[in-house]
Structures are given as C-alpha cells and as structure tokens.
Amino acid sequence: MQNILVTGGAGFIGSNFVHYLLDAEPDVKVINLDALTYAASPENLENLPDPGRHVFVKGNILDRDLVNGLMQEHSIGTVVHFAAESHVDRSILGPELFLQTNIMGTFTLLEAARAFWSGKGLEHPEVRFHHVSTDEVYGSLGPDDPAFSETTPYSPNSPYAASKAGSDHIVRSYAHTFNLPTTITNCSNNYGPRQFPEKLISLIILNALAGKDLPIYGDGRQVRDWLFVEDHCEAIWTVVKRGVPGETYNVGGNNQPTNLSIVESICDLLDELVPDQHTPRRNLIKFVTDRPGHDRRYAMNIGKISRTLGWRPRHTLQNGLRETIQWYLSNMDWANAIRERNEYQKWVSKNYSQREKQA
Ligand code: NAD
Ligand code: TYD
C-alpha cells in the first residue's frame, strides 16, 4: 500500500481527487486531512469507491503536532496538498486568513515532510510533496499576449494569488535547498461536481435553477481558461507519478470564453434540460459592480505537460458543462445541504452591499 496524505480532501478539487484516486489505484490508501471550513462538505466524501482505503482526519494543516503525528502514524510516502483558502472575493474582504493558511500552512507541511522523510530517505521513489497551485500567480494577460508558460514571471494581483505565489516559492526553495522531491502544478479555473457555490459556474447553475439573479461582474468580458475537475485530478496524479522532482507544470483546458458567454451557455443548457417558468434564463443575467483589481484574462500554455508526460484534457467545455449540470441536477440534496449549512446567499449579498458602499 502507498499511503498518501491528501490535504483539503473535503473541498471541491480535493474530494474529486480522492474519488479519482481510490477508483484508479487499488494499492493506494488516502489519509485525508481537512479542517472542514465553510468550503468543505462531508457529503463530498459519500459513496467513495472502496472507502476502507480512506481515513478522514478533521484537523488544521497549521497544527504542527498533528501533521508530524500523521506522517509517522501512517508512514506517509506522498503528500498531495490542496488545502487552502481559495476564493478571490473573500481574499479581498479578509486577506489575513489567506496568508496564514496558504503560506504558513504550506510551510508547516513542508517542515513535517522534511523531518519525516529525512529519516526515511529522500531518494525513495514514493517520496513526493506535490503542491496544487493556480494560474493566478502569473497575473493578468492583455488580449494579444501569449498564454502563461512555466517561465512566465510571477505577478500575482489579488491577496489570494499572492498567497499562492508565496507558497509556490517556499515549495521551490525546499526542493532547491533541502533536496525535497517536490512538484507543483499551476492550474486554470476548475469546474465540475462538488464545487462550493461561490465560484462562477456552480453559483450560476444553482442560481439559474432557483430563478435568482445571475451576477456578472463589470462588463463580463473577462476571460478564464476552464478545466473540468476530473481532468485536473488526472493531471495531478500523472505529475505525482511521472513528473520530475523540482519541476512545475502548467495545466489548463485549452479554451478561453468570456464570463458572459459561459453564463449564456449555462442558461441555454439549462433551458434545454429543464425548461420551466424561468426559461429563457438569460433574462436572469444581472451586471453588478466589478471586483476590485479584477484580472482581465488568463490562458495556459500546456505544452510542457502534454509533451513530456502525455497529459491532455479529455473534456471539451461544452461536454464538461453538460456533465456538470447533470451532476447538480442529480444531486440537489447536496446543494440544499450546503445552502442550509452556510447560508451562502446571505454571504454573497453582504459581499455585494459592501462593494457597493466602497464604489
Ligand atoms: P476549496 O475552497 O473548495 O477547498 C479547500 C479545502 O481546504 C476545504 O475542504 C477546506 O476545509 C480545506 N482547508 C482550508 N483551510 C484548511 C486548513 N487550515 N487546514 C486543513 N484544511 C483546510 O478549494 P478548491 O477549489 O478545491 O481548491 C483546492 C486547491 O486547488 C487550492 O490550493 C487552490 O488554490 C487550488 N486551485 C483551485 C482552482 C479552482 O478553480 N478551484 C484552480 C487552480 C488551483
Ligand atoms: P471565480 O469563479 O471566483 O474564479 P477566479 O476569480 O479565481 O477566476 O470567478 C471566475 C470569473 O467570474 C472571474 O472573472 C470573476 C467572475 N465572476 C462573476 O462575474 N460573477 C460572480 O458571481 C463570480 C463568483 C465570479
């Protein structure tokens, strides 16, 4: 058995990764460390394939004793690190938690891994610290700029992006200084099942189903590069298994729609799949005050991971969106549980009214 410590495995991408890994790898055991913040859902870990190979630990990555203890108790060979504060809007309203979790949390994990693996032997083929990061560390592109590559200089614009950039640099320094076998993936915007409904696509699907406003920040012409979450999970596992220690890999979906066009596509798909009194749902679109410092365009050059490791996204945006919508339609209990627990709509309204006051 290969014992893998997954952090943040009750959140969106982490939980999809746990499902993916238990399904794909019969000889892997997952130790899943998650603090169960607002963004986590215990429901994300229901119906796991072979749940006997999954151990859930509720705890904080900042808790040194806990992390050191887990490394020893489970003889962890591989760390895949997702846990983070991940929402840009929240980082604008309250940056401090982002610095603590994303920077100091990553540091705590690196120290625990270094201490434990130094005794075990850093050369062991299983030993790997994989850090999951974002394209937002590269900043914003102009309309004609080439896509971000692994050599694009870092230029993070939001407190979220800056905290992820900080964590990337610390990971890199542990590879360079202490020979810790690390890899980093910098990935574009994900969408798919089990995404907390504060990010664009999950929020729009659930609001559109409920006949609520579909908020578009600013002019809606910002561009993101969207990747279906399962494709991201496959990319991460490919890099953990075959990526070169010390290297970073850009991951993306090879598409760049504007926010407005993606929201319109969701409306049209929902009108087709669930025609009801809210059709046509494009009428629900509402332009609202822009996000401060809003990055205009992201695009990823995925040449390195495609050429060297043979990974490419399997889903187009259209079939990924259809699959995502179908998942939400079949899992409305999931959405209702989250809504009740977190009252996210209340949070969203507060967020908007604060911004209106600032503007
Ligand atoms: P998420 O917000 O859905 O989940 C984060 C998880 O981390 C939650 O389960 C939360 O409880 C846990 N967590 C937060 N603080 C913790 C702490 N101190 N200790 C233990 N657990 C803690 O995030 P996500 O969208 O799944 O993103 C996962 C990772 O992928 C993040 O590192 C993010 O920066 C990165 N990423 C996300 C995207 C995206 O589009 N969502 C794109 C690229 C990279
Ligand atoms: P988001 O999902 O928050 O991801 P990120 O900011 O990390 O890219 O937002 C995606 C894009 O959608 C971004 O340009 C902001 C925009 N957006 C809206 O227009 N309305 C919304 O309600 C949200 C949450 C985002």
pTM (two decimals): 0.97
Pocket test of ligand 1: the residue of 31, 82, 100, 231 to mutate, having most ligand atoms within 8 Å of its CB, is: 82
Q: Cα(252) to centroid of ligand 1, in Å? A: 17
Taking the C-alpha atoms of residue 102 and residue 84, their distance in angstroms, rounded to an integer, is 5
Who wins on pLDDT, 16 or 340?
Answer: 16
Geometric angle at alpha carbon 184, from 227 and 313, rounded to 5°: 25
Nearest ligand (C-alpha, residue 184): 1
Per residue in 97-124, pLDDT (tens digit) is 999 999 999 999 999 999 999 988 888 8
Q: Return the C-alpha torsion angle 263, 13, 159, 264, nearest 10.
A: 0
| Dist. CA 75–CA 116, nearest whole Å | 9
Ligand 1 in reach of 193 Cβ (< 6 A): no
Gap from CA of 198 to ligand 2 centroid (Å): 9
Per-residue pLDDT tens over the stretch 190-215: 999 999 999 999 999 999 999 999 99
Give me the phi and psi of 185, to 5 degrees please: -115, 130
- Per-residue pLDDT band for 340 (boundaries 50, 70, 90) equals confident
Q: What is the number of other CB atoms lying within 10 angstroms of the CB of residue 27? A: 7
How does strand 28-34 pair with strand 128-134? Answer: unpaired
Q: From the alpha carbon of 40, which atom of ligand 1 is closest?
A: 9
Q: What is the CA(291)–ligand 2 centre distance, in A?
A: 9
- Please give the full DSSP string across 235-288, using - where no structure is assigned: HHHHHHHHSPTT-EEEE--S---BHHHHHHHHHHHHHHHS-STT-SGGGGEEEE
Partner residues linked to 56 by β-bridges: 32
For ligand 1, whether the C-beta of 84 sits within 6 Å is yes
- The pLDDT of residue 10 is above 60: yes
Q: How far is the CA of 41 from the centre of ligand 1 (A)?
A: 12
Q: By alpha-carbon position, which residue is closest to atom 21 of ligand 2? A: 200
Q: Which atom of ligand 1 is nearest to the CA of 160?
A: 34
Contacts of 203 (CB under 8 A, 6+ apart): 197, 215, 348
Q: What is the percent of the chain with per-residue pLDDT over 90, rounded to a whole number? A: 91
Q: Which of these CATH numbers, 3.40.50.720, 3.60.20.10, 3.40.50.300, 3.40.718.10, describes 2-188+227-254+297-315?
A: 3.40.50.720
Query: Crossing angle of helices 332-342/200-210, nearest 10°?
Result: 100
Contact 305, 251 (CB under 8 A): yes
Segments making up each domain of the chain, as ranges: 2-188+227-254+297-315, 193-223+257-292+316-346
Nearest CA to ligand 2 atom 20: 216
**pLDDT at residue 338, as a whole number:** 85
Q: How far apart are CA 81 and CA 134, in angstroms?
A: 13
pLDDT-derived band of residue 263, with 50, 70 and 90 as boundaries?
very high
CA 102 – ligand 1 centroid, Å: 9
**CB of residue 132 inside a 6 A radius of ligand 1:** yes
Per-residue pLDDT of 30-89, as tens digits, reads: 999 999 999 999 999 999 999 999 999 999 999 999 999 999 999 999 999 999 999 999
For ligand 1, atom 43, the nearest C-alpha belongs to 134
The ligand 2 atom nearest the CA atom of 298: 8
The reply to whether omega before 125 is within 30° of 0 (cis) is no
How far is it, in rounded angstroms, from Cα 197 to Cα 344? 8
For ligand 1, the distance from its centroid to the CA atom of residue 201, given in whole angstroms, is 16
Task: Quote the tokens at residue 119.
Answer: 């005794």
- Give nearest CA residue, ligand 2 atom 11: 200
271: left (phi over 0), alpha (psi -120 to 50) or beta: alpha
Q: Answer positive or negative: Cα dihedral of 273, 274, 278, 279.
A: positive
- Positions annotated as catalytic residues are 135-136, 160
161 lines ligand 1 (CB under 6 A): no
What is the distance of C-alpha 12 from the center of its chain?
Answer: 6
Cα 340 to the center of its chain, rounded Å: 23
Query: Which residues, judged by CB distance below 6 Å to any ligand atom, belong to the binding site of ligand 2?
Result: 88, 189, 199-200, 203, 215-217, 222, 224, 259, 291
Report the chain's mean pLDDT, rounded to a whole number.
95
Asked if residues 282 and 260 have their Cβ atoms less than 8 Å apart, the reply is no
Q: How far is the C-alpha of 146 from the C-alpha of 37, rounded, in Å?
A: 37
Question: What does the block give as tokens for 245?
Answer: 């220690």
d(CA 129, CA 79): 5
The CATH fold assigned to 193-223+257-292+316-346 is: UDP-galactose 4-epimerase; domain 1 (3.90.25)
Counting ligand 2 atoms within 8 A of each CB, the residue from 86, 160, 224 with the most, and so the one to mutate, is 224
Residue 186 is encoded by which pair of tokens?
Answer: 């910098």
